[in-house]
Amino acid sequence: MESGIDSKSKGEKGTILVTNDDGIQAPGLNALVSVLVSTHRFNVLVCAPQLEMSAVSHSITWRQPLRVEKVEMDGATAFKASGTPADCASLGVSSVLFPSVPDLVISGINQGSNCGYHTYGGLSFEEFEKMLRVEAGSKTKMNYEYEAAAKACLPIISGIIAEIKNNTYPQGCFLNMDLPKDVANHKGYKVTKQGKSMMKIRWKQITSHGQPSEIEHHLLFRRQLSGCQVDIDDSDHKSLQEGYISITPLGILTHPDKDCKAYFEDWLPNLIQQHQSHNPLLD
Give every CB contact of residue 124 below 8 A, 6+ residues apart in sequence.
57, 58, 60, 86, 89, 90
pLDDT of residue 9: 46
Domain ranges of the chain: 14-196+231-282
Mean per-residue pLDDT for 236-246?
Answer: 87
Q: In 3-state terms, what secondary structure has residue 282?
A: helix
CA distance 40 to 172: 28
d(CA 273, CA 283): 10
d(CA 8, CA 162): 9
Q: What residues pair up with 48 in beta bridges, in sequence order?
A: 80
For the ranges 80-84, 138-142, 263-267, the lowest mean pLDDT is seen at 138-142
Percent of the chain with pLDDT over 70: 73
The one-letter amino acid at 183 = V
In the chain, count of helices (H) and strands (E)? 6, 11
pLDDT (0 to 100) of residue 155: 93
- pLDDT, one tens digit per residue, over 151-195 is 999 999 999 999 999 999 887 788 888 898 888 899 999 998 887
Across the strands, what pairs with 193?
235
Among 75-79, 184-188, 246-250, the least confident range: 246-250
Report field, pTM of the whole predicted structure over 0.75: yes
Query: Rounded to whole angstroms, how far apart are CA atoms 71 and 51?
Result: 13
Residue 90 burial class via C-beta count within 10 angstroms: exposed 0-12, middle 13-18, buried 19 and up: buried
Domain 14-196+231-282: CATH superfamily is Survival protein SurE-like phosphatase/nucleotidase (3.40.1210.10)
Give the residue, 241 or 131, on which the prediction is more confident: 241
pLDDT in tens, 97-122: 999 899 999 998 987 666 655 544 44
